[in-house]
Amino acid sequence: MSSSDMWPIEMELEAEIDRLPIDLLAHIFAMIPSFTDLAQACGVCRKWKEGVKLSLGRRESLSFAGWKMDDYSTARLIHHAYSLRQLDISRSRWGCQITDHGLHEISLAKCIPNLKSISLWGMAGITDKGVVQLISRANSLQNLNIGGTFVTDVSLFAIADNCPNLKTIGLWSCRHVTETGLLILVSKCRKLESINVWGMRVPVDCFIGLVAISPSLQIKSRSLLLNSMWPVL
C-alpha cells in the first residue's frame, strides 16, 4: 500500500481519537501513573491537555515518590489536583528536589485546606520556613510525616497551632526537635494518637511527660512503646 493510500486511514484514526469525549480521555489519563507520560500527553493537543487537567482534578491521592521532581513541576500538578486528600512528596531513590520555595507554591493550591495526609519524609532540602507555610493552610490534616528532615520546634509549634485534627505524626530522626516542641505539640493536638520519635535526641523522661498529658498516646521509639498501660507520673 502506498503512502498516499495510507493517508485517508491515518486521517480517519485521528478523527476517531478527536471524537472521544473529554470525560473519557480524563478517565484514561487517570490510569497513567507516569508524570512524564502525562506531560507528553499535554503536548499533543489542547483537548488532551484539558483531559489531563480534568484527570488530575479527580485524583484524591498523589505520590511523587520514585520521581525526580522539581519545585515548579510538582506545584503545577498539585494546583490542578483540587480534589486531593493524600499527598506524598517523600524523598526516594531518585531524589525529589523540593525546596522551601516549592512548599510555598504548593501551599497556595486549592486542595491544601482539605488534605488529610502529607508525607515529606526525608526531604533534606526543606526547612521550617517551607513547612510552616504549608502547614498553616493544612487545617484538616490528620496524618503527617516529616521524619528525616531538619525541622525544629518552630515547625512543631506551627503544627500545634494549625492542625487540631492531627492523629499521627512521624518525626523519625528529627534531631533538631526538642522536648519543648514535643510537649507543645501533644498539649495542643488533643486528638493525637501516635507519634514516631525513633532516632530523636530527647530523654526518656520527656516521653513519660507526654503520656502524662495524653495517656492514650502511643510513642514509637527504638527502645520503648508507651501507651495507656503506663501509670501517669
Distance CA 92, CA 6 (A): 46
**18 phi and psi, to 5 degrees?**
-65, -25
Q: What does the mean pLDDT of the chain come to?
A: 84
Instruction: Report which of 185, 177, 103, 97 is spatially closest to residue 137, judged by C-alpha positions.
Output: 103
> Strand ranges (DSSP E) for the chain?
61-63, 86-88, 117-119, 143-145, 168-170, 194-196, 218-220, 225-226
Instruction: Report which of 201, 162, 216, 206 is spatially closest to residue 180, judged by C-alpha positions.
Output: 206
- In this structure, of 30-34, 144-148, 162-166, 224-228, the range with the lowest mean pLDDT score is 224-228
What separation in angstroms does the CA of 203 have from each of 70, 153, 179, 213?
Answer: 37, 16, 8, 16
pLDDT of residue 227: 45
Q: pTM to 2 decimals?
A: 0.81
